[in-house]
Amino acid sequence: MPSPDIIQLLPDSIANQIAAGEVVQRPASAVKELLENAIDAKATHIQVVLREAGRTLIQVIDNGSGMSVTDARMSFERHATSKIRKSEDLFSIRTMGFRGEALASIAAVAQVELRTRQDGDELGTLIRIDGSEIKTQESVAAVTGTSISVKNLFFNVPARRNFLKSNSVEMRHVLDEFQRVALAHPEVSLTLHHNDTEVFNLPPAKLVRRIVDIYGKSYREQLASCQEETSYVSVRGYIGKPEFARKTRGEQFFFVNDRYIKHSYLHHAVISAFDGTIPDGSHPFYVLFLDIDPSHIDINIHPTKTEIKFDDEKSVYAIVMAAVKKAVGMYNFSQSIDFDD
Ligand code: ADP
Ligand code: MG
């Protein structure tokens, strides 16, 4: 006798919880996803409010497009996105999101409250959702934009919760994500409050001013601008003086089409360009923006979208190296950079 059929489709709540394992590793991952959604919604002002390094509360408030009643509900479905429609769209992505899984994942492992209103709508929508289960949906008065509160992250995943590090370590990760978004979007005003203390209050500014606002005035004299362009890719940004290189890593940033990415091969291009000017094993400061036609890149490698493949990686290496070499070589660090907006 054959055995009976035993395969079943998983309920959405379990599928979402499994997907959440990849997308939401810690409070910082939720902060990143919510900030990126606010950026995609064209917000010009974004507030982040945290309690206990995001363990008990992560709230992101934006003045972006807001959502309709139906979209507000849809936004928590898995693979639900307004950012792509057909497979070709994967080759022309300019938005931060496109996988449609962040909100579904976050809602699977936290208690979430969404308040949103589109410009022109009389009322907004309030949705409360606990571990993928919608508890409340009602019309409410609301300002234009979106506010999402994520409470008690991993309340239903004890193993993940116990895996979290101390508040200071988790906060370090949150600050990393916050600073990456702040660097990528100097034109957006951003605030960060932690346990009622203001950590950052960044006005809209040019990139160089944003760097100084984040890292302090001492960076002002240390930066050299960097620019190079080919038909394939353009590079712009700032590098720190060779003497300014540090023993520890952490202030090296690549953004490809405004998305922060990690790329050891390109990091190597920068280090090679500094060749001979910095001691071995020290790390120069850099914030470099690469702009490239999205059809030449693939960011759909990992759910967190911090890895990227270029179709011609060698060209990118060459131009990054050339741009940095030129900036180091000119050594014109006395050039006056205009810090005013
Ligand atoms: P993705 O960003 O990949 O599309 P998400 O799960 O992060 O997936 O969000 C799902 C959808 O919800 C988005 O495509 C967008 O339409 C909507 N959305 C999410 N956050 C916001 C926001 N802050 N403002 C406006 N719309 C939002
Ligand atoms: Mg998103």
Looking at residue 133, its pLDDT comes to: 94
Q: Is the dihedral of CA 174, 180, 181, 185 positive or negative?
A: positive
Q: CB of 189 closer than 6 A to ligand 1?
A: no
Q: Whose CA is nearest to atom 16 of ligand 1?
A: 82
Looking at residue 334, its pLDDT comes to: 47
Q: Provide the token pair at 241.
A: 């003086």
**CATH for 12-202, options being 3.30.565.10, 3.40.50.261, 3.30.420.40, 3.40.50.2300:** 3.30.565.10
Query: Mean pLDDT for each 10-residue chunk of the chain (341 residues)?
Result: 92 88 94 98 98 98 98 95 93 92 96 98 97 96 98 95 96 98 98 98 97 95 94 97 88 97 96 90 95 94 90 97 91 53 46
Q: CB of 54 closer than 6 A to ligand 1?
A: no
ipTM of the complex: 0.99
Q: How many CA atoms lie within 13 A of 118 on its CB side?
A: 8
Q: Whose CA is nearest to atom 2 of ligand 1?
A: 97
Enter the DSSP assignment of 218. G
Which of these, 220, 211, 312, lies nearest to 252 by C-alpha position?
Answer: 211
Q: CB of 75 closer than 6 A to ligand 1?
A: yes
Looking at residue 304, its pLDDT comes to: 85
User: CATH 3.30.230.10: does it fit domain 218-330?
Assistant: yes
Q: CB of 98 closer than 6 A to ligand 1?
A: yes
Distances from the Cα of 75 to the Cα of 29, 81, 90, 266, angstroms: 18, 7, 19, 35
Q: CB of 102 closer than 6 A to ligand 1?
A: yes
Looking at residue 45, its pLDDT comes to: 98
Looking at residue 21, its pLDDT comes to: 86
Looking at residue 266, its pLDDT comes to: 97
Distance of alpha carbon 287 from alpha carbon 256, whole angstroms: 11
Q: Where are the domains of the chain?
A: 12-202, 218-330
